[in-house]
Amino acid sequence: MNKATSPNGATPPHERDIKTIVNAGLARRHAAERRFRWYGLTAITLGLAFVVLMFANIINKGLPAFWQTYIQVPITFDAAALDPEGQRDPRALAGADYNALVRAGLRQLFPKVEGRLPLRALSALVSTDASYDLQRRVLADPQLIGTQQEIWLLASAAVDTFVKGNIDRGLEEANRPIKDNQIDWIDQLRAAGKIERQFNAVLFRSGDSREPEQAGIRGALMGSFFTLLVTFLLSFPIGVATAVYLEEFAPKNRWTDIIEVNINNLAAVPSIVFGLLGLAVFINFFGLPRSAPLVGGLVLSLMTLPVIIIAGRAALTSVPPSIREAALGMGASKLQMVGHHVLPLAMPGMLTGSIIGMARALGESAPLLMIGMVAFIVDVPKSFLDPATVLPVQIYLWSDLPERAFVERTSAAIMVLLAFMILMNGLAILLRKRFERRW
């Protein structure tokens, strides 16, 4: 092996002096040891660095999305234009031309602007939602009519992106979404204190939209809520019942063996295959509606079931047999023993497993793409059968859109999603800590 360092080449191996031999190789071996240790440390540092990097990357991108640019515009709620008949009839009020109010307000700010194109550029400073905003205000409070108000209107996405410093002024005008004259106006507004960033309530208030500044995650959140509710209502009772049956009642035979192997395998089946199942069985065979949280919940509950069953069985096995014997010894039936003694003791563990399963279901998107929960849906779903999407799918949909403002919102949506996941996992850890028992 190491001819050079072995001083005892001539003596038979058994009489060689171990002390000198070992000494000769020590430096090399310790170097190897340090190297190996360093590999390990590098690996784990890399792994942890990825965690930090991903979070930093997402937060860095997404944090600005929680603020949104607004422009203060003087709006004259002209009674003649809004309500010529003076009846304050909501229908008439709803049908009025609020766009004109916005345009007039902007012209009031910049009276010198002339010409069709510059005027159009001027109105492009505010979001197309601004007129609906005014409509909502008037409908909510008809007293506004006839007054003049300084109103903060939602700026357009391009303005917002520019104000957040994500558009380079140095770019050629044709290459940026915001033009020279608009930049000029923004600078003036800024100097006058008429442009500011406010908390982005729209993000939490509205459904999806093609306009980034109007797009929100409310619809996706409600979709996720309904989907997870179905998932929980189905998978928790069935999962607990299966765990109880397999652990406490089932005879150990071929049949239960098959169930067990089957559950372990189901836990490792790719999620997209569950989507195929949902499409073929729930939608095509049973004719349930596409894009519905009900179907999403059905698919996800089938996916979550193995997780809950496995956690449930672990929780049940951790209850010591002495408790079962004690209950049976008192003359309780097997079901009473389980219901009164074993299940309550195992419940925290089962809940922990279920919450972790639900957190996974919350982050799942692939199977939901298969069953049509990937559509562009503006309305916030109100029931289990309304077309809906879920938060992770919303993230997927937005991530495809090129606008910088959507990139920002995608990251913000991811932050919300991660916050929910952290909340759920934290709850699970808390539950485990609180009810952990050592027998």
Do 152 and 72 contact (CB within 8 A), yes or no? Answer: yes
Q: Which is nearer to another protein, 237 or 320 (CB)?
A: 237
Do 235 and 308 contact (CB within 8 A), yes or no? Answer: yes
For residue 297, give both structure tokens: 């919940």
Restricted to residues 372-401, the positions that interact with another protein (CB under 8 A) are: 372, 374, 384-385, 392-393, 395-396, 399
Restricted to residues 299-318, the positions that interact with another protein (CB under 8 A) are: 302, 305-306, 309
Figure out which of the listed residues 63, 171, 280, 430 binds another protein, where binding follows CB under 8 A: 280
Restricted to residues 240-269, the positions that interact with another protein (CB under 8 A) are: 241-242, 244-246, 249-250, 258-259, 261-266, 268-269
Restricted to residues 407-426, the positions that interact with another protein (CB under 8 A) are: 407, 410-411, 414, 417-418, 421, 425
Distance of closest approach, residue 395 Cβ to another protein, in angstroms: 5
SS3 state at 69? strand
Residue 73 touching another protein (CB under 8 A): no
Restricted to residues 318-347, the positions that interact with another protein (CB under 8 A) are: 333, 335
For residue 409, give both structure tokens: 């919102």
Distance of closest approach, residue 36 Cβ to another protein, in angstroms: 4
Q: Which is nearer to another protein, 8 or 87 (CB)?
A: 8
Contact range with another protein by CB under 8 A, out of 16-24, 160-168, 207-215, 220-228: 16-24
Restricted to residues 201-230, the positions that interact with another protein (CB under 8 A) are: none
Helices (H), 343-403: 343-363, 366-370, 391-399
How many angstroms separate the CA atoms of 325 and 331, rounded? Answer: 10
Interface with another protein (CB under 8 A), residue total: 106
How many angstroms separate the CA atoms of 132 and 41, rounded? Answer: 57
Q: Which is nearer to another protein, 53 or 326 (CB)?
A: 53
Restricted to residues 41-70, the positions that interact with another protein (CB under 8 A) are: 41-44, 46-48, 50-51, 54, 57-58, 61
Do 278 and 370 contact (CB within 8 A), yes or no? Answer: yes
For residue 274, give both structure tokens: 């569950």
Distance of closest approach, residue 58 Cβ to another protein, in angstroms: 7
Do 287 and 378 contact (CB within 8 A), yes or no? Answer: no
287: left (phi over 0), alpha (psi -120 to 50) or beta: left
Antiparallel, parallel or unpaired: β 195-199 and 148-154 = unpaired
